[in-house]
């Protein structure tokens, strides 16, 4: 971008969106916690592959069933965006 960064933490937010996009490839909603450091498409795609390969790593529940809930976000900006 010729004008520089458009927002604070732009690179971090981009990485979060990349990871969410890769998890979207699972084809269903994910209720869980992902903690990562400097993720890239390769590592997130590997996570998706390993999840599918290990049936003990997940369970599929009916839509609307609340298994667990957390309001924790690493970045306040992400929490504010999620509240919209």
Catalytic residue annotation: 41
Question: Cα–chain-centroid distance for residue 42?
Answer: 14
Distance of alpha carbon 70 from alpha carbon 84, whole angstroms:
17
Residue 31: count of CB within 10 angstroms of its CB: 14
Residue 23 neighbours by CB distance under 10 Å:
18
């Amino acid at each position: 971008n010729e004008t520089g960064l458009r927002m604070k933490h732009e690179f971090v937010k981009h990485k979060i969106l990349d990871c969410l996009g890769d998890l979207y490839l699972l084809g269903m909603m994910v209720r869980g916690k992902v903690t990562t450091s400097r993720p890239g498409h390769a590592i997130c795609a590997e996570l998706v592959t390993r999840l599918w390969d290990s049936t003990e790593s997940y369970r599929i529940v009916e839509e609307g069933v609340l298994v667990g809930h957390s309001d924790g976000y690493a970045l306040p900006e992400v929490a504010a965006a999620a509240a919209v």
